Amino acid sequence: MPIGPRPKRAVFLGFGWGVTEKTWLPDAMVTGADYTLPPGLAPLARHQRDFTVVQNLTNKFANEAHWGSTFWLTGANRYAEPGQSFHNSVSVDQVIAGRLGTETRFASIQLSSPDGVANGHGPGLSMAWDPRGKPMAGLETPVLAYHRMFSDETMPLERRQAMLAQQRSVLDAVLTDARQVQRGLNKTDCDKLDEYFQGVRDIETRLAKDEQWLGVPKPKTSLAEPKPGLAGRDEIELMYDLIVAALATDTTRVITYRQPVVSLLASLGVKIAAHDMTHYTSDERLAASQRRDLAQSELLAGLLDKLKATKEPDGSSLLDHTVLAFGSNIRTVHYLDNCPTLLAGGGANLKLGHHVVLRHDTPLCNAWLTILHGLGIQADRHGDSTGIVAGLRA
Partner 1 sequence: MKRLCLAAMILLSCRPAQAADAPSVRLDEAQRAFFADFCIECHGRETQEGKLRLDNIAFEIQTVEQADRWQKILNALNSGEMPPDDSAQPDRTRKTELLDTLSQTLARARKVIGDQGGLITLRRLNQREYKNTIRALLGVEIDVRDLPADGGIGTFDTVGASLFMSSDQIEQYLAIARRALDEHFHRTRAREPRSLSAREEAEVIGNKRMNSLYERTKQMHDNYVRWTTAVDEAAQRPENVAKIDQLKLDAQKLSGASASPRAAPLLYYHLWHQIAGAPSPEEFGFHDSQAALFEELQYRLHYTYYADYQQLPGRDRGAWLLFYQAYRETYVSAGESWPAGRYKLRLRVAANDAAPPFRRFIEVGQRGDDPSDFTVFSAHQVTGTLEQPQMIELSVDVGTRGKREFAVREKRPNSRKAEINIFADEVDRTGHGPVPAVWIDWFEIEGPQPEPYAASVSLIASTHDRRGAREVIERFARRAFRGATPSAEYLDRLVGLFETRRALGESFEDALKEPLSVVLASPSFLYLAEPSTAAGQRRLSSFELASRLSYLLWSGPPDNELLALAASDALHSPGVLAAQVDRMIADDRSREFASGFMHQWLGMDRLEFFQFDYRMHRQFDDSTKAAAREEVYRTVSYLLRENQSLTRLLKSDFVVVNAVLADYYGLDGVRGDEFRKVALPPGSPRGGLLGMAAILAMGSNGQYTSPVERGEWVLRKLLNDPPPPAPPNVPQLSRLDGKMLSVRERLKAHQEEPQCASCHRKIDPIGFGLENFDASGKWRTEDIYQLNPKTSKTWPVDAAASFYHGPSFANYFEFRDIIESNADAFAHCFTEALIEYALGRPYGFLDDELAANIIHRARANGFAMREFIHALVSSEAFCSK
How many CB atoms sit inside 10 A of residue 1's CB? Answer: 4
Least distance from partner 1 to the Cβ atom of residue 121, Å: 10
Coarse DSSP helix, strand, coil percentages of the chain, rounded to the nearest 5 percent: 40, 15, 45
How many CB atoms sit inside 10 A of residue 311's CB? Answer: 12
Least distance from partner 1 to the Cβ atom of residue 39, Å: 18
Among 68, 144, 115, which residue's Cα sits nearest to residue 264? 115
Radius of gyration of the CA atoms of the chain, in A: 21
Q: Which is nearer to partner 1, 323 or 364 (CB)?
A: 364
Least distance from partner 1 to the Cβ atom of residue 245, Å: 21
Q: Which is nearer to partner 1, 167 or 249 (CB)?
A: 167
Residue type for 394, please? A
Partners of 355 in beta bridges = 32, 53
Q: Which is nearer to partner 1, 82 or 215 (CB)?
A: 82
Least distance from partner 1 to the Cβ atom of residue 125, Å: 5
- Spatial distance between the Cα atoms of 126 and 111, rounded to a whole number of angstroms: 7
- Spatial distance between the Cα atoms of 369 and 372, rounded to a whole number of angstroms: 5
Least distance from partner 1 to the Cβ atom of residue 196, Å: 5
Whether the CB-CB separation of 275 and 18 falls below 8 Å is answered with no
Integer angstrom CA distances of residue 221 from 64, 188, 224, 243: 41, 46, 8, 11
Least distance from partner 1 to the Cβ atom of residue 83, Å: 5
Q: Which is nearer to partner 1, 46 or 179 (CB)?
A: 179
Q: Which is nearer to partner 1, 13 or 125 (CB)?
A: 125
Least distance from partner 1 to the Cβ atom of residue 80, Å: 6
- Spatial distance between the Cα atoms of 34 and 26, rounded to a whole number of angstroms: 11
Among 361, 335, 289, 363, which residue's Cα sits nearest to residue 66? 335
Whether the CB-CB separation of 71 and 88 falls below 8 Å is answered with yes
Q: Which is nearer to partner 1, 185 or 214 (CB)?
A: 185
Q: Which is nearer to partner 1, 205 or 212 (CB)?
A: 205
